[in-house]
Structure 1
Amino acid sequence: MAPPTPPPSKQPTRTPADQPAPADACVLHAVLAKSAQYGRRPERLTAHLRSALEAADLVARRTGRIATAAGILPGFWDAVRLADLLHDTGKIPPGFQQMLTGGPVWGERHEVLSLAFTPLIADAKLRAWVAAGIATHHRPLTNSPRSLAALYGTAPLAEWRARFAPLDQAMADELAAWLYQAADGAGLPVKPLLSGSDWIAQAHTELGALLDRFEYGTDKDEGLIAVLLQGAVTMADHLSSAHARPHLLQPMGPAFAARLENTIKTKGHNLRPHQQRAAAIDGHLLLRSRTGSGKTEASWLWACRQTNTMQTAGQGVPRVFYTLPYLASINANADRTAWELGAPELVGVAHGRAAAYHLANAACPEDGDEKRVNAARKAVARQAATRLFTETVRITTPYQLLRAALVGPAHASLLVDAANSVFIMDELHAYDTKRLGYILAMMGLLERLGGRFAILSATLPDALADLITDTLAQTVTRTDDADSHPPARHRIRTRPHHLTDPAAVTEITEHLHRGESVLVIANNIRQAQQLYDQLAPKARALQGPEAATMLHSRYKRRDRARLEQHITARYGVDRTRIGRRLPGLVVSTQVLEVSMDVDFDVLFTAAADLEALAQRFGRANRIAARPPADVIVQAARYSLREDAPGQWFADGIYPQAPTQAAWRILTAHDGQPVDENEITDWLNTIYTTPWGTTWREEVLHHRDQFAATFLDFTYPYDDRTDLAQRFDELFDGTEAILIDDRTAYAAALDQADGRPGRLLADDYLISLPASTAPRAHYDKDLKVHVIDGQYTSEHGLKAVRDPGTNYRPTETA
């Protein structure tokens, strides 16, 4: 195929908005596309189609020229524009119009009848792609009882006539004339449609041709083009339906780079060598840089160069995605990015709780009901803007990017939005082989679609760096901050007993008596709760009622937010900077590893793999404001797990082999300060063991498995519901409310209609592992899972009392 056609370099002399309305006093004037909803007036069909065409043009301008291995059909963006112009033309039958004004459900699919107007396109190949975009903007084409193939594929023309009748010939003819005028005015390759055409017969013929083309599979590269087309069409449709416009400005460009460098200089510093190197790289980057070395700034400088280079090359307005593994770190990064850029309207937060993040920024806990309702409405609007892809900077998780692989009407727009984008992947975890493999597979696809990647980590083993290099086709430039020699922040101490052993509790208590801030990180929730019950009374007796806190993932949302705010306020790095540090105790799990910018005097941690431990070390003496802080690692206790027969795990969480390898290294360095550059060498030693070989094989297996399962587009328009369910099981988990909160949850829902009310009610949700979903009762009235759990705002969820379940909170987070 020929290379893709970029958006027109100049605007056509005539646009739909410039055209006089064609005899709008005629019957077409009364035809609707949208009913009155959410306080809006009904929308006329011609207005919606014109708006969809304009939105398609904006999507084309922002996305730019998409390049794949096989190229894209000539006129790709013309196909998108024409499909959006025609996508809802099948709404003209009286049955559909009556439904929009309160009548009975019509029962037919308007997108099928919309195919009747594709003879408007003069070129046969372009017409076939336009038909694909029209037919698939709501439902799968094939492989499902609800697909268009199942509903219409075998029905004879006579049956179609009966199902779509009556169809007003004069109205259809008038619409055909309007479509030609709109398309021709936009400079699109069209020809006049014949008045008096048999519109139903034309739709029947077009669907048949479409099924012949896709029902039994197609070339994989053509299948990729097909889902990209679907994504572009649906994106423009959703934008026009919401009366929204995507931003066409990328604030992370040369001007921001210059401003950032000037800001650093005004503070009396120059760019560090690794920041200068990152700023000069054109292409993929792999950066090893310790915590506090300015790697975020280095990645921003790198991104500024990429967006400028890509935009000059015709790759639209590249979006910047900054991915992090935990929600709290995402939210903090979003705040900082919006502040530094000075453009909060261009920075979106994309994760499952994004609306809650916006609500927290818009409302205070002491606000009354009316203020919180208004804040909830604003928060939902901001989340909707991100779902419509309006912002050009996105802070998100790597798993949100994986959702693009689900394609279909609901997810294909994610793939288009990610094309020609810049990706900064911070702290890409290596120890979860399945998720890492999936992320690598998606990186390979996004690179094919013009993407550029920067991988950032304080501790990134060569084995992972090699996998990244092997996955990406283009050159990956590696650099680090090894030429800097910062003071040591930590001193390793190892203990032969477990974290829950009385000897460990005694030693922790001694540090509390010294008036220190003490962080204790357990590998699972049950052990964290046990330690907290033993240590909290001592901390409070010594330093007051606010001096003991616990944090893990099994709290109600509102309780977890309160706990995180308290921990940050009491132990945040800002307190260290101004010399107002406070003593106290925090007992946590891995949720605190990389999610909060806090600083403690001493760390006690259960043994785990070295990457997890290195992240935990970073919560003590975070900015090296003091002599090396003790990081005390307690010996592991190993157990079997039901989901991994024959395999042993530290506290049921971390695999035995890498945990033991880390333990051997740490005990060999007991009592020594940590050279953070040396941690990478330790990791490389671990990954060259037989376990490391197995690890690599597992990652490659999962990478290839994900590519074969999710990234094979041989059947581009099949129903992927089963894949979506499998995806949700892998990543999403479950949330539930306590049965005791059911009344309060219902009352919160009633505070506001729709999503704002749901957002206010979400305060009561507790995160659960996916394995507990069958054990929770689904309340159909409230549309939420309900559990009978043992819970306190201090301890979080301790047990589920639902009959037949033996859940205890032993998970890592």
Structure 2
Amino acid sequence: MKPSLWPDAIDHLLAKSVQHGGETLAAHTWQVLCRLADLYRLRPQLAGESRLWHCLYWAVFLHDFGKAAHGFQRRLRGGPAWPHRHEVLSLAFVAAVAHGFSAAEQRWLVAAIVSHHRDEPEIAQTYPLGLRNDPLVELCNEVDAETAGLLAEWLATCANPWREQLGLATVAEAIAPQPVTINAKRVRYWLQVYHDWVAELEYDHAARLPGILLRGLITTADHMASAYVQRVPPPISETWPALAQRLVPAGQQVYEHQRRSGAIGGQSALLMAPTGSGKTEAALYWALGDGCCPPARIFYALPYQASMNAMYDRLRRSFGDQAVGLQHGRAAQALYARFREGEEWSAAAARRVQWEKNLNILHARPLKVLSPYQLLKALFQLRGFEAMLADYAHAAFIFDEIHAYEPERLALITGLMRYLREQFAARFFVMSATFPQIIRDRLDEALGETAFISATPDIFARFRRHRLHLRDGELTDPATISEIVAQVRNGQQVLVCANTVARVQELRDKLAQAGLGSEQLIVIHSRFTYGDRNRLEQAIRERCASEASQRPPLALIATQVVEVSLDIDLDTVYSDPAPLEALLQRFGRANRRGAKGICPVYVFRQPNDGQGVYGRDRDPARAGHIVRVTLAELERHNGAIIDEAATNEWLDRIYADPVLEQQWTEAYRRMAQQVDLIISGLRPFQSDEQREDDFERMFDGVDVVPHCFERAYVERLVEEQFIEANNYLVSISKQRFAILRSQGKLRPAEETGKRRVWVVQLPYDERNGLSFSDIVIDPDWS
């Protein structure tokens, strides 16, 4: 909707190319201002940042004035490329309003205008000092006196009324614009103000925050307007009791730890409660509170893609499609599978997926399910990091099952937590079935004053649902295979959890050979194609979920991907030895609600070396040490009902082992020191491509195409069906990739254009996924 005052005289000036709709300069500026007003309403607390919104309003009004240049207008109408930067030319109009700002605020105003597309080093390189023929002279000659006069009239007649119509008059002061002359020297002056401020940020740490917020908010508003987002969704403002009334089944009560979570207000908190006792609901109650101060955004972080996908489905049922986003490395595949479930036409589903991805990039969902590594991008100063950090301001973060992260990754996460708490007023809810003191101490350091909420003794007693049995030998032994088959034939749903993909494949084959049919076996791990992975996740949801209407007998054979936030409820568990936190999560997938009495769970004593998954160490004698220490602790409780209230004491004894404590502490400290260096170097207006390499090294996956799918993959690429093409990809570790390449088992895919994709010459089938000849494998990280 247009404002009452409109600059009809400049409706011939475009902001977008004809092929992209030909939006006028005035219309685009109005839309950016509308989105800025939405962002202000989303985070009114930022008004305390000394005139931040005042600077942003006037910066947005002026930010695209440079698009009036003749060369830029010709380009928008299909003419030749234009070698200049329009945002630099916009600085020619700063003098019209500069008197409405202090000297410090003028730096903010200029920085917001000139940085909304390009980093400072690129601007400096394009318009360097000291050239005989200053390129700014040519740039300023691109706006004639008549055009400059029309822009000045627009500024004088519309800028002040528009701020009132947008509801920004209380934070953006009125300014009476003064006449200006387009002058290269004045543009150079304002450019130098900008460059000098960016240089000062190297040692002026206090000034970095407003710089981050300025650039982050103006680019977010600009990108939303360019994407034709008509409104920034408001935060979820429901009260926790109202949500509880919707979520809690009739006849059930809200648990005390859930009630306390909803009542603690704006404080960060740690929650320890048994798996299946409503931790997710407790976290949502905490985030919403009494509804009077809803968080600007809610981020729900999980470690595995399967658990992220499942949580996305769960939250969509609670809050609706428009409120919840999904963001991880393969979110497009997960979303496409869900949209196609509704029999949506494939091209329409693909367009919807792209729109969802855009909305996530534009920070336009009030509740987002994502990987912590998506959050960590901001620390690595990747392009657009200021917009990411601005989106984290006054947000509520939920970290589920913090136990799942190795000490190095935990150090990265806690470093991010501390930075966001101190600089962006973010708050955190961290939950797990267990909180060993060694982890709790680090969380307390990161989060400051934190409430600790624990389920009440009667809840822990109610969730005494498993009896521990340690078994000699291995999970793959013939007697165990026969026992699992008998369990399934007796109508049971059995979780068989192995530490490596190779063992999962071995177990699946042995169970099939022992007589279980394909309909009685579900396998899930990281080495399926993304398309098959989504199909398997759906099958697990339909057949093993707590609320599943039909529960056919089966064996679910899985790696660590089942440990976190999958709302499945099987009857018993057979597991490889693993760290206690992982085992407790595996147990929690059986008898989840405690409605089946006491169910047996079985852990095998061999192999006790961690299998290359847990407790890596250069000293072979110490590799897998955490598994051996865990088994020693479990011996004390063999045959007993597991008291989840006591498992924290088990963990504290495990981590008190001198070797393990030293391993854990040294790994955490090394990464924590690196995180401190990363944060100390975080400056606005300068993304860092070298740090992008550092970020990519955090991930151990390389996508390959099994040779049986090469033709189908290439055909999808040729047809530009990119999401469908990606369904044929499998992720393998970089180490495995290097080995296979050295053995000649990898070659580039044919006819993939610009895509560099490798075909792997290994067997693949929809039952077991991609198969290797040996069993050394890295963990199932997302």
Aligned residue runs from structure 1 range 75-224, under 5 A? 75-119=51-95, 120-122=97-99, 123=101, 124-142=103-121, 147-156=122-131, 158-161=133-136, 163-164=138-139, 166-170=141-145, 171-185=147-161, 186=163, 187=169, 188-195=173-180, 197-215=181-199, 217-224=202-209
Structure 1 SS opposite 2:235? coil
Q: CA deviation at 1:438?
A: 0.8
Q: Is 1:21–2:7 an aligned residue pair?
A: yes
Aligned residue runs from structure 1 range 27-66, under 5 A? 28-37=10-19, 40-66=20-46
Aligned residue runs from structure 1 range 525-674, under 5 A? 525-540=501-516, 544-575=517-548, 580-634=550-604, 635-638=606-609, 646-648=618-620, 656-674=624-642
- Whole-angstrom distance in 2 between the partners of 1:771 and 1:307: 49
CA deviations over 1:186-212 (Å, ceiling 9, x no partner): 2544342424x1333322221122112
Q: CA deviation at 1:641?
A: 6.4
- Whole-angstrom distance in 2 between the partners of 1:219 and 1:773: 44
Task: Determine the structure 2 residue equivalent to 1:768.
Answer: 732
- Whole-angstrom distance in 2 between the partners of 1:799 and 1:154: 59
Kept in 2, the 8 Å contact 1:327–1:595? The answer is no
Kept in 1, the 8 Å contact 2:270–2:450? The answer is no
- Whole-angstrom distance in 1 between the partners of 2:397 and 2:278: 18
Structure 1 SS opposite 2:684? coil
Q: CA deviation at 1:166?
A: 4.3
Kept in 1, the 8 Å contact 2:497–2:558? The answer is yes
Q: Is 1:781–2:753 an aligned residue pair?
A: yes
Q: CA deviation at 1:668?
A: 1.9
Kept in 1, the 8 Å contact 2:399–2:431? The answer is yes
Task: Determine the structure 2 residue equivalent to 1:429.
Answer: 403
Structure 2 SS opposite 1:764? coil
Kept in 1, the 8 Å contact 2:307–2:561? The answer is no
After the TM superposition, which of the residue ranges 685-694 and 319-328 deviates more from structure 2? 685-694
- Whole-angstrom distance in 2 between the partners of 1:734 and 1:177: 56
Q: CA deviation at 1:250?
A: 2.8
Task: Determine the structure 2 residue equivalent to 1:736.
Answer: 704
Kept in 1, the 8 Å contact 2:576–2:603? The answer is yes
Kept in 2, the 8 Å contact 1:362–1:375? The answer is yes
Structure 2 SS opposite 1:767? strand
- Whole-angstrom distance in 2 between the partners of 1:427 and 1:725: 28
Structure 2 counterpart of 1:522, from 487, 494, 498: 498
Structure 2 counterpart of 1:699, from 656, 668, 691: 668
Structure 1 counterpart of 2:358, from 384, 395, 398: 384
- Whole-angstrom distance in 2 between the partners of 1:360 and 1:381: 15
Kept in 2, the 8 Å contact 1:140–1:148? The answer is yes
Q: Is 1:331–2:331 an aligned residue pair?
A: no
| Amino acid corresponding to residue 127 of structure 1 in structure 2 | Q
Structure 2 counterpart of 1:276, from 259, 269, 288: 259
Q: Is 1:708–2:677 an aligned residue pair?
A: yes
CA deviations over 1:510-564 (Å, ceiling 9, x no partner): 5455453332211111222222222223243xxx431122211111111111222
After the TM superposition, which of the residue ranges 112-121 and 163-172 deviates more from structure 2? 163-172
Q: Is 1:322–2:300 an aligned residue pair?
A: yes
In structure 2, the CA distance between the partners of 1:688 and 1:480, relative to structure 1 (3 Å rule), is farther
- Whole-angstrom distance in 2 between the partners of 1:408 and 1:213: 21
Q: CA deviation at 1:291?
A: 1.6
In structure 2, the CA distance between the partners of 1:598 and 1:245, relative to structure 1 (3 Å rule), is same
In structure 2, the CA distance between the partners of 1:66 and 1:175, relative to structure 1 (3 Å rule), is same
Structure 2 SS opposite 1:676? coil
| Amino acid corresponding to residue 86 of structure 1 in structure 2 | L
Task: Determine the structure 1 residue equivalent to 2:445.
Answer: 470
In structure 2, the CA distance between the partners of 1:95 and 1:383, relative to structure 1 (3 Å rule), is same
Q: CA RMSD in A?
A: 3.0
After the TM superposition, which of the residue ranges 149-158 and 770-779 deviates more from structure 2? 770-779
- Whole-angstrom distance in 2 between the partners of 1:323 and 1:458: 16
Q: Is 1:236–2:211 an aligned residue pair?
A: no
| Amino acid corresponding to residue 417 of structure 2 in structure 1 | M
Structure 2 counterpart of 1:301, from 272, 277, 285: 285
Percent of aligned pairs with the same residue?
Answer: 31
Q: CA deviation at 1:612?
A: 0.8
In structure 2, the CA distance between the partners of 1:600 and 1:539, relative to structure 1 (3 Å rule), is farther
In structure 2, the CA distance between the partners of 1:108 and 1:734, relative to structure 1 (3 Å rule), is farther
- Whole-angstrom distance in 1 between the partners of 2:612 and 2:138: 57
Task: Determine the structure 1 residue equivalent to 2:166.
Answer: none
- Whole-angstrom distance in 1 between the partners of 2:729 and 2:230: 33
| Unpaired segments ≥5 residues, structure 1 | 1-14, 312-316, 801-805
- Whole-angstrom distance in 1 between the partners of 2:132 and 2:154: 26
In structure 2, the CA distance between the partners of 1:514 and 1:321, relative to structure 1 (3 Å rule), is same
In structure 2, the CA distance between the partners of 1:567 and 1:50, relative to structure 1 (3 Å rule), is closer
Structure 1 SS opposite 2:225? helix
Q: CA deviation at 1:683?
A: 1.0
Kept in 1, the 8 Å contact 2:262–2:286? The answer is yes
Kept in 2, the 8 Å contact 1:539–1:547? The answer is no
- Whole-angstrom distance in 2 between the partners of 1:168 and 1:321: 45
Task: Determine the structure 1 residue equivalent to 2:689.
Answer: 721
Task: Determine the structure 2 residue equivalent to 1:748.
Answer: 716
